[in-house]
Structure 1
Amino acid sequence: MAVTTTYKATNVVNRAQRIIGYDVARALAILGMVIVHFSLTLVASDQQSSWLGLIVTFCEGRAAALFVVLAGVGLSLIGRINPNAEAAAIQAKRWTLTKRGLFLLVLGLINLTIWPGDILRVYGIAFLLIAWLFQASNRVLLSLAFSFVLAFVGLIMRFDFNQNWNWATLEYRNLWTFAGLLRNLLFDGFRSVFPWAGLIFFGMWLGRQHVQVALVRWRLFWIGVAMALTAQIGSIGLTHVFSQTWPILGKPDAAMLFSTASIPPMPLFMLSAAGLSLAIIMGCIQLSLGLSTSRIINSLAVTGQLALTWYIGHIVLGLGGLRSLGLYQNSSLATALGLALGFFGVAVGCSVWWKRHFNHGPLEALLRWATS
């Protein structure tokens, strides 16, 4: 149904107009990941029990989930095509998605050599799958999202998730063997295809919703809040029921199965992360509409438009630089958070300058050039 002109300007976004709320949300996802990764790298785990540690714990996994959902939103825009398109146009779109998937897969493998939490490989696999699924219905997309989550549960029941990990040092044994690399990619990597690619399919579904309309935005916002709250309350309740009221499971098994922690990423974590991502994205869109002339909003938006560059940049320049200074596992949590906020502030300033001179970020431009 076409959006009528009876809506107020603050309630409707022109479909041809870029929705900068998505870009603002990408910037917040980068900020969350910078906070988590700086704290993991610079602070010993026994120092993360303070109230500042609660901030890091809240962001852990959920910032990455927001980043992944937004990747799905972007994919829905890339894969948009006329329903009556000819076979040649469909094949061209499929080839573009395939090339981008291969590019991100290779970039992710390179990134994996320095950072065990790489997520770009998941993007790459998702792009390759979506090259054949970009015309799928909304129902199929949500079914795929659900299936990836359930498949992970099956895998964790069959295989030992912790087998190859040394969590104290974040080192993965046998990574650069074929079996280890495949297992890390699909199942027990810091961010693996199962279940994380499910969030990309969820993001594709979201990208097809008419968020230009205020009623839709608010409905999705409250659905997201309800999902996140249901997951948190359900985690507490189900753990208690199945470990005490009906002790079918031992307490450790129940706590793991119904956990909302990001490692391992069990279904209630995925529900919580998807719901929180949905609420944040809708909030960012609404806020961006109300403050469309705000310098802060527009600075965050251009930072989000360079999200791929800053994802790699905060690992290579940020974490790499700090480790070279001898700060690995040798700083307080307050110092790590301060450095994270400082790095993000520099990223925002650099992004504003860059977008005044160039249309695309460095890695975004390379992606376009390599896959054109």
Structure 2
Amino acid sequence: MTATAPTRAAALAPIASAERILTLDALRGLALLGILLMNVESFTASMLDAGSGIDPRQARWDWLADGFVYLFIQGKFWTLFALLFGMGFAAMSERARAAGTDFLPLYLRRVVGLLAIGLVHALLIWSGDILVCYALAAFALLAFRNAPLGALWPIGGTLNLMIAAMLLLGTLATFVAGDLIADAGSGAADRALRASEVAAYARGSYAEATAMRVRYFFGPGMAGLMVFVPMALGLFAIGTWFVRSGAIVEPQRYRRFYSVLLWAVGPLGLAITLAGLVIDSEPLLIDSGMGGSDMLGATLQTLGAPLMSLGYLAALVRVLQRGARWPLAFGPAGRMALTLYLMQSVAGTLLFYGYGLGLWGEVSRAPQVLGACVFFALQLAFARWWLARFRYGPMEWLWRWFTYARRPVLLKG
């Protein structure tokens, strides 16, 4: 016992920098940039308008920026991030399995820690949180931790197809009974909620904004979790396959597989997304004007996003296999993804909300996108500076401390 205990403890310690998978760090960094490009619009508009398509009334550059984000970014990078979260949880599970220890207590502490961070983020900082969704999906992932390797793709695909089928049924119902839905009074409720958001976020105090965040979380936020948690769970299952199969660690053994993702799955996702764009480039999902074309356009966007994210993953793996080093420049951001994600929300709300600089609704899409890129470049520089001195980002350090029930060494020796 005395001979094996140190080995097992070391195996379950926070992972050292030399052991990290550089591809995962690069992917996380790029995904973090995509998430910021997607989220910046929702820092300065109602959360009910998130993902509402391309506004044709904008100036040319704003329209182009809006179209680029909607087509190539919207929905694609939170799904990529979900794949990466699944890979991270699976990697921890594999390390625990190799150490011959019970992974469950460690896993539960990690997920509870993530849920706590997500709740603080959603209720006290910004309503667009995704961490609560990831934490709930991670709890559910326990049901599949002993699933055979060959079952993980069918599980992941089925869960995402179930959500697509549910949305398509909603689309059909909207086509058939659109007038009944329009007359049900939901439009007035949506408009009232949007007006409350604008009042609280654009002009309200921090206390008023926080009260609105709580109201949103227990209203539309809960409804959104019913859709996004199963999607995230499916993506977690697929991410688990990438780790357990060795496809992310030894991609050279899976060249044909990555070629299929790059040249078939990714383009299929783009084709589905383009079809949704042709059907309705500005889907209206609230108010009494919602129709079948709105629902179908948004449904196709939701269906195409995870396919495109798999294509993005394959493209980056292929680029790295061919010797390109530029993706690795995003690695420091990937190692501090949780810290930088929360930092984005703090900065975005302080810039646009009434209790900050109060720029709500005053910055159009092109400057939003440009500003997001500049801010991310500053974040990347900060991450490099920080990691030259410390082993972990500040939030990653706290999360590891809670997970492993002992304080990790923060300063580099």
TM interval, shorter chain, is: 0.7 to 0.9
Alignment of 1:66 onto 2:80: yes
Equivalent residue for 1:207? 243
What is the Cα deviation at residue 193 of structure 1?
A: 1.0
Q: For residues 92-103 of structure 1, what are the structure 2 equivalents within 5 Å? A: 92-103=102-113
Q: For residues 52-91 of structure 1, what are the structure 2 equivalents within 5 Å? A: 52-57=65-70, 58-80=72-94, 89=101
| CA 1:101–1:20: 2 relative to 1, 3 Å | same
Instruction: Give the whole-Å Cα distance in 1 for the aligned partners of 2:83 and 2:218.
Output: 24
Counterpart of 1:311 (choices 327, 341, 346) is 341
- For 2:27, give the aligned amino acid: A
Higher mean C-alpha deviation, range 314-323 or range 346-355: 314-323
Instruction: Give the whole-Å Cα distance in 2 for the aligned partners of 1:230 and 1:196.
Output: 20
- For 1:142, give the aligned amino acid: W
Equivalent residue for 2:266? 228
Aligned sequence identity (%): 23
Alignment of 1:279 onto 2:306: no
| CA 1:30–1:94: 2 relative to 1, 3 Å | same
Counterpart of 1:359 (choices 378, 391, 395) is 391
Equivalent residue for 2:285? none
> TM-score, structure 1 length as denominator?
0.75
Instruction: Give the whole-Å Cα distance in 1 for the aligned partners of 2:150 and 2:346.
Output: 39
| CA 1:108–1:43: 2 relative to 1, 3 Å | closer
Instruction: Indicate the SS of the match to 1:328.
Output: coil
Confirm or deny: 8 A CA contact 2:126 2:213 kept in the other structure. Answer: no
Q: For residues 245-260 of structure 1, what are the structure 2 equivalents within 5 Å? A: 252-253=291-292, 256-257=295-296, 259=297
Instruction: Give the whole-Å Cα distance in 2 for the aligned partners of 1:168 and 1:328.
Output: 14
Confirm or deny: 8 A CA contact 2:149 2:245 kept in the other structure. Answer: no
Confirm or deny: 8 A CA contact 2:332 2:387 kept in the other structure. Answer: yes
Alignment of 1:181 onto 2:218: yes
Number of aligned residues? 332
Confirm or deny: 8 A CA contact 1:43 1:336 kept in the other structure. Answer: no
What is the root-mean-square deviation in Å for CA atoms of aligned residues? 3.8
Equivalent residue for 2:151? 140
Higher mean C-alpha deviation, range 131-140 or range 340-349: 131-140
Instruction: Give the whole-Å Cα distance in 1 for the aligned partners of 2:397 and 2:227.
Output: 25
Instruction: Give the whole-Å Cα distance in 2 for the aligned partners of 1:28 and 1:364.
Output: 18
| CA 1:337–1:19: 2 relative to 1, 3 Å | same
What is the Cα deviation at residue 306 of structure 1?
A: 0.8
Instruction: Give the whole-Å Cα distance in 2 for the aligned partners of 1:25 and 1:197.
Output: 19
Ranges in structure 1 where 5+ consecutive residues have no aligned partner: 1-15, 242-250
Instruction: Give the whole-Å Cα distance in 2 for the aligned partners of 1:182 and 1:50.
Output: 31
Ranges in structure 2 where 5+ consecutive residues have no aligned partner: 1-17, 47-54, 174-180, 199-210, 280-289, 405-413
Equivalent residue for 1:27? 29
Confirm or deny: 8 A CA contact 1:218 1:282 kept in the other structure. Answer: no
The Cα offsets for residues 158-211 of structure 1, whole Å up to 9 and x where unpaired, read as: 799x8875685695999747x9738734x4249731333322222222233333
- For 2:87, give the aligned amino acid: V
- For 1:69, give the aligned amino acid: L
**Structure 1 or 2: more helix by fraction:** 2
Counterpart of 2:231 (choices 185, 195, 208) is 195
Instruction: Give the whole-Å Cα distance in 1 for the aligned partners of 2:318 and 2:263.
Output: 15
The Cα offsets for residues 275-302 of structure 1, whole Å up to 9 and x where unpaired, read as: 222222232233334446x4x4443111
Instruction: Indicate the SS of the match to 1:359.
Output: coil
> TM-score, structure 2 length as denominator?
0.68
What is the Cα deviation at residue 65 of structure 1?
A: 1.2
Equivalent residue for 1:4? none
- For 1:34, give the aligned amino acid: L
The Cα offsets for residues 126-162 of structure 1, whole Å up to 9 and x where unpaired, read as: 22223343222233322332343344357655799x8
Instruction: Give the whole-Å Cα distance in 1 for the aligned partners of 2:371 and 2:226.
Output: 23
Confirm or deny: 8 A CA contact 1:19 1:285 kept in the other structure. Answer: no
Instruction: Give the whole-Å Cα distance in 2 for the aligned partners of 1:169 and 1:20.
Output: 45
| CA 1:239–1:107: 2 relative to 1, 3 Å | closer
What is the Cα deviation at residue 231 of structure 1?
A: 3.9
Q: For residues 276-355 of structure 1, what are the structure 2 equivalents within 5 Å? A: 276-291=308-323, 294=325, 296-323=326-353, 324-355=356-387
Instruction: Give the whole-Å Cα distance in 1 for the aligned partners of 2:99 and 2:388.
Output: 36
